[in-house]
Structure 1
Amino acid sequence: MTLTIEHTEAEGTLLLGTSRGDGSAEVVKALGWRWGRSIGLWFVPRSRDAAPKRPLIEQTARQLREAGFEVEVSIDTTTGNREEAEARRAERAQARSGRLADRAEREQTKADQRYAASRKIADGIPFGQPILLGHHSQARAERDARKIRSHMEANIEHQERANAAAAAAATAAAGPQYRHNPVTVANRIERLGAEIRRMERALEQSAAAGHRRQDLEDQLAIHRADLEHWQKVRAEQLETGQATNYGRENVAVGDLVKIGGSWHTVARCNAKTVAVETGYSWTNKAPWHTVQDHRPRALAEVEGSKVQG
């Protein structure tokens, strides 16, 4: 039997050609692969729109061969359209949000059922009625108390699960929009730039060979494509006014800048950050791309005098 380990950017790392009971499941499951019911294949988690995990792929192929399988490996590192990759990411986020919302609804139903069951028992007991020790009703009253406690504990547990799933569903649904937040985009560009420079230095200075070097080159290609994409996104945000572009060329000491919804007086203008007064002996620094608005000192003083007058 021939199995194929296949990696593409859009589909991730998949194992093709397996069948139930052929012994492959025991091998790949122990290596961290998961079974995808919707696709009917084993897959490597978080491998879509990512660089191939070559050491894991090689280890999987080796152990499958040792188990008696013929294994072919196909790795395609072609970097595709980033807008399409973002669309796939958004689709996965919405699907995850839907699954979590369904889970929250199921857990909420169970919580409500348990609460209703506890109320049904409690409503049959006269208000304030104690357990009468030695009375023929004692055994039943104690059973009712245990049932009420059990239902309420289960109600709390299911309610906590429902709340957690609902919160996770909301986070997943908001993910794509958050990824395009102007500040988030600018932060991502800085992070990608730093990562690219680090990887380039590693390739230049290191004698890394084999998988280590190939892993760096794979990831570097993806980072470069991502950086180009997000730079275009930021350029569009600047053009449409969604993002700001303040710096020491248009902000001076003593001016006011708005950061995080609050206005601050500028204490120092640096190349990448602005330092603002805090009212204490120290200043706080913030990246320029987090500045939401700006008022020159002269304008701020005029507006302040008008307010006082």
Structure 2
Amino acid sequence: MTIEIIHTRSDGTLIHGTSKGDGAAEVLKTRDYSSGYTQPARHSRTLGCWYLPNSRDKRALKTMLEALAERLRAAGFTVTVTIREADRRTFADAEQERVERAEDRAERFAGYADNASTRSDAAWARVGRIAEGIPFGQPILVGHHSERRARRDQERMDTAARTSFAESKRAGYWSGRQQAAEAYERHRTNPGRTLRRLDKLRADLRAVEKWQHGQSAKGYRLDPTNPEVSAELTIRHDELTEEITYWEEVIAQAEANGFKVWAPQDFKRGEYARYGGTWYEVLRVNPKSVTIPHIHNGVGRKVVRATDAANGWTWTLPYHEVSGRMTADELAQKFTAAP
């Protein structure tokens, strides 16, 4: 029997050729640090094969795949390893699938929450129906012929109440999961987060371009004359370019909807930038931020001026965290009695 370990960026690492009871599962599920293979595989009924979690849209970890192959060979299997890095999907396609999966999760979790809530209500209704048959304030009459029934009713009420509470808690859990899934796209496309993400992606792209030219970046060099290294850098360059373009379009749409992307040309020294609910005097305008009085001085205040900075301490406020701008005159008119 031959087991095929196939990695592509589009599908991740898939493991074909196993069958139930052949002994491969014990190897694939085991986390083994001694051989260098540390990630257990999982089986997917949908895919009909084993797969390595979180391997999709990523470069193959060749050392780990070879270690896994050696462990399977030691168990008596014939194993082949195939890696096709150029087989990948666009970032837009990957992101769209992530959004659709989040929507599916939200719908599924909503169903779980509704079912649990229904069970909770039904259990609580049972408590009420049993209680209706018991006179108000009636104690259990020890020794009376009704004692056995009364204790049985008490136990049934207690069980139903516990079930109701447990199902209510379960409904709250799934409702929280539903809300988190529904917030996925909103969280991912938040303009402030997207701008921070773009800064990092552009820095990564600059590093890749330096490596492609044989220059040092992030503290080390790569050899662009190595065909394998060169191919990986080309793929990574394409991936980063696609992702940057995607998120730039998200920001463009946010601007069209009224979001303001602040920049150095929007500020002058002595003007005010808003962060949270506080206006801070701009002490210096930098390429990626404005220098303001130390942020802790803004706790509980509407306005923080240069003279409010304890010991002259300052803070840098990135442009993507700025939520407003005012001149000194505009601020004076708005906060004539500001602290």
Report TM bin, short chain: 0.7 to 0.9
Match of 1:172 among 166, 181, 192: 181
Taking the TM superposition and a 5 Å limit, the aligned residue runs for 1:12-51 are 12-31=12-31, 32-51=40-59
Counterpart check, 1:287 vs 2:295: no
Structure 1 partner of 2:281:
266
Q: Which has the higher helix share?
A: 1
Match of 1:201 among 200, 208, 218: 218
Taking the TM superposition and a 5 Å limit, the aligned residue runs for 1:1-309 are 1-31=1-31, 32-78=40-86, 80-192=89-201, 200-201=217-218, 203-204=220-221, 224-225=240-241, 228-229=244-245, 232-233=248-249, 236-237=252-253, 240=256, 242-260=258-276, 262-271=277-286, 272-274=288-290, 275=292, 278=298, 279=301, 281=309, 285-303=316-334
CA distance in 1, matches of 2:271, 2:333: 12
User: Which structure has more RCO (C-alpha within 8 Å, separation ≥ 6)?
Assistant: 1
Inter-CA distance 99–47: structure 2 relative to 1 (3 Å threshold): farther
The letter of the residue matching 1:201 is K
Taking structure 2 as the reference length, the TM-score comes to 0.74
3-state SS, counterpart of residue 48 of structure 1: coil
The answer to whether the Cα contact below 8 Å between 2:261 and 2:319 also exists between their aligned partners in 1 is yes
Identify unmatched segments of 5+ residues in structure 1.
206-212
**Alpha-carbon offset, residue 289 of structure 1:** 0.9
CA distance in 2, matches of 1:138, 1:300: 77
**Does 282-291 or 12-21 show the bigger shift?**
282-291
**Does 147-156 or 112-121 show the bigger shift?**
112-121
Identify unmatched segments of 5+ residues in structure 2.
32-39, 209-216, 223-228, 302-307
**Alpha-carbon offset, residue 220 of structure 1:** 5.9
The answer to whether the Cα contact below 8 Å between 1:82 and 1:229 also exists between their aligned partners in 2 is no
Q: Cα deviation per residue 1:22-75 (whole Å; 9 max; x = unaligned)?
A: 222222122422222222221222222233344442332222111211111122
The letter of the residue matching 2:328 is R
Identity of counterpart residues, as a percentage?
30
**Alpha-carbon offset, residue 223 of structure 1:** 7.1
CA distance in 1, matches of 2:154, 2:61: 56
CA distance in 1, matches of 2:335, 2:143: 80
Q: Cα deviation per residue 1:116-145 (whole Å; 9 max; x = unaligned)?
A: 222222222222222223322223222222
> How many equivalent residue pairs?
301
The answer to whether the Cα contact below 8 Å between 1:234 and 1:243 also exists between their aligned partners in 2 is no
Taking structure 1 as the reference length, the TM-score comes to 0.81
3-state SS, counterpart of residue 274 of structure 2: strand
3-state SS, counterpart of residue 204 of structure 1: coil
**Does 102-111 or 64-73 show the bigger shift?**
102-111
